[in-house]
Structure 1
Amino acid sequence: MKVSFIIINYNSSHHTLACVESVREQSKSVNYEIIVVDNGSSIQDYQKLSALTVVSELKIVRSDRNLGFSGGHLFGLNAVDPDSYYYFFLNNDCLLLDDLCSRLSSYMNDHPDVGLCTGQMIRPGGDQEPSFTYFPTVGSKLLGHAIVRWFNPAAYPKRQKIYNEPVQVPVITGSALFTRAKAFLEVGGFDPSYFLYCEEEDLCLRLRQANWKVMLVPDVKFLHIGGGSTESSPTAEKEYYISLFRYFRKHTSRPVQLTMRLFYTLKIARRYLRNSRNARLAWFILRGAPESESLRHRFA
């Protein structure tokens, strides 16, 4: 059962080269292909990917502009083998530490109700990093995760816990998304209206609504180096709220949207004394985090 890796490069070819090498080293028992998507990088960075042209199982496809997370992965899917049984969306700042691909595919072969899974994420220092998160809800934001977990523990498994057995989780973080092609295509794949952030929440919610399970398989591991294509900045922070409120508009009622807008406005405004730019961010959220100010327009 063929696995298609889709790896996005955006001005971070050094990460991409290392990521591809780890895939080749740890996937020798797997029938796989690698699609590297250059997502509108500078010509200098793109040219550094030429070292990969000798890899027979690899294709490089280039977009002339940055399509974002969803758009970049969908662009790469145009080049995958139509007979691929699994898609592995892997951030280029990740390295496989063991035969993760063969073991995740074996797990999903044995569990046909699982649509999406991942392994345990590890930091460079060796510590565990949470591989999953929660859906953003009014209850969890107003009351806190500890309280809502008391009412519904299955919906809020502890993120910092060390798991020894596979566990069903709400949302897998986007660093390493191993998905059954059938499930992914059934729910419509990534929504390209998200440029950055919240793509995982949106995908996992639609999978859950279609009765597919999302699982953490903790006995396989990958290293998350960080510092890949997306860096923290005021602009990126605004983009997060643009995506978050798109998620609310798509999946929640108008009263919930207004409640969350007020919650985040007050939350950010309280940080004003620490940094005056938080006042501008709070005003941006109060205005509904308008999509007209998205980064996508910078790259159009």
Structure 2
Amino acid sequence: MNPGKVSIILINYNSHRFTYDCVDSIRDKTKSIDYEIIVIDNNSLPADYEALKPIVDQPKVQLIRSRINVGFSGGNMLGVQLADPKANYYYFLNNDCVLRTDVCSQLAKFMDVTPGAGLCGAQMFTGDGSRQITFGYLPTLGSKILGHSFVRMFNPGIYPNVRQVYTEPVRVPFVMGSTLFVRASAFNLIGGFDVAHFLYVEEEDLAKRLLQKGLYTYLVPQAEYVHFTGQSTIHNYDVEKEYYISLFHYFRKYHSWPERALFRAYYFIKNGRKFRKNWIYARLAGFIWRGSPMSESLRYRQTIRS
């Protein structure tokens, strides 16, 4: 069987040291499949970009500088446009990850023998070796109001236990966005990522649209990677707000108006009741009550670097 080729796409944003480590791990672990690495610098500070430029001296690596921060989805879509059009798979990998096994070969082999799979992911670990939750559930009113444990009793196939240790591939609702290994033909068919998602909910939306085409998402636990978690994202009110902008964009795409109203009430109460812990939750509750408008997204604050 021809193992094909994988186009690996990384986004760098003021975190060049992690990008070097990620690329080193890819080159060290990938043995059984042809690959290319496309690094998108998402308008990092000039000093970080200058420190990143020598990465192109390594084989199979190309570096593209975006003069504006186009977010997670936009940066990956830029990488896709520069990828080998004959690539069989795209591997969207966070730059703050390192591979523990030959992940690309393992996931490609699984996809080759699983025609119904459109997307899969490897098992995630932290830097100290702890196994991490690697997949989640697509948001539904039932799971939010009744709880995941309750709905799992009635439909365990849709709600597999996220804390269980799996030793064989398992079908899951979606895998975490730090490692998204997707069949190129399927990704191209649905038009790729929805670039309206600037920082969050891209993985849920991707899995949902593939599912609408009859293609499933899997966790392949034999493939393993380490994620050092959010090294290029500073969490503050604006970033937390961005999550709800993306989440409610997802709801507007896939849920009716009455459902969206119930989701709004649920998240308003969820955040509002935590205001004593941190005043940011009261601000988030107010933002959610206003409908989490897309017009307040961080994407509209970006400037083009000269």
Residue 93 in structure 1 maps to residue 85 in structure 2: no
Render the CA deviation track for 1:51-77: whole Å, top value 9, x for unaligned: 212123111011001100100000111
Deviation at 1:290, TM superposition (A): 1.0
Once residues 84 and 16 of structure 2 are traced to their aligned partners in structure 1, the CA distance between those partners, rounded to angstroms, is: 24
Deviation at 1:213, TM superposition (A): 1.4
Off by >4 Å, runs of 4+ in structure 1? none
Q: After TM superposition, list the pairs within 5 Å mapping 1:73-222 onto structure 2.
A: 73-222=76-225
Query: 256, 271, 277: which one pairs with 1:274?
Result: 277
Structure 2 counterpart SS, 1:128: coil
Tell me how large the CA RMSD over aligned residues is.
0.9
Once residues 125 and 54 of structure 1 are traced to their aligned partners in structure 2, the CA distance between those partners, rounded to angstroms, is: 31
Once residues 182 and 78 of structure 1 are traced to their aligned partners in structure 2, the CA distance between those partners, rounded to angstroms, is: 14
Structure 1 counterpart SS, 2:199: coil
Deviation at 1:277, TM superposition (A): 2.5
Unaligned runs of 5+ in 1: none
In structure 2, what residue type is equivalent to 1:53? V
Once residues 115 and 5 of structure 2 are traced to their aligned partners in structure 1, the CA distance between those partners, rounded to angstroms, is: 16
Identity of aligned residues (%): 49
Structure 2 counterpart SS, 1:102: helix
Once residues 297 and 127 of structure 2 are traced to their aligned partners in structure 1, the CA distance between those partners, rounded to angstroms, is: 32
Residue 65 in structure 1 maps to residue 72 in structure 2: no
Once residues 43 and 117 of structure 2 are traced to their aligned partners in structure 1, the CA distance between those partners, rounded to angstroms, is: 34
TM-score by length of 1: 0.98
Deviation at 1:298, TM superposition (A): 1.4
Structure 2 counterpart SS, 1:23: helix
Once residues 95 and 13 of structure 1 are traced to their aligned partners in structure 2, the CA distance between those partners, rounded to angstroms, is: 14
Deviation at 1:112, TM superposition (A): 1.5
Query: 221, 236, 241: which one pairs with 1:238?
Result: 241
Once residues 222 and 288 of structure 1 are traced to their aligned partners in structure 2, the CA distance between those partners, rounded to angstroms, is: 37
Render the CA deviation track for 1:111-161: whole Å, top value 9, x for unaligned: 111111111001111111111111011111101000011111111111111
Once residues 185 and 73 of structure 1 are traced to their aligned partners in structure 2, the CA distance between those partners, rounded to angstroms, is: 13
Residue 24 in structure 1 maps to residue 52 in structure 2: no
Render the CA deviation track for 1:79-99: whole Å, top value 9, x for unaligned: 111110100000001000111
TM-score by length of 2: 0.96
Once residues 227 and 288 of structure 1 are traced to their aligned partners in structure 2, the CA distance between those partners, rounded to angstroms, is: 26
In structure 1, what residue type is equivalent to 2:10? I
In structure 2, what residue type is equivalent to 1:71? G
- 2:228 aligns with 225
Residue 40 in structure 1 maps to residue 43 in structure 2: yes
- 2:295 aligns with 292
Unaligned runs of 5+ in 2: none
Structure 1 counterpart SS, 2:82: coil
Deviation at 1:231, TM superposition (A): 2.9
- 1:250 aligns with 253
Once residues 213 and 241 of structure 2 are traced to their aligned partners in structure 1, the CA distance between those partners, rounded to angstroms, is: 31
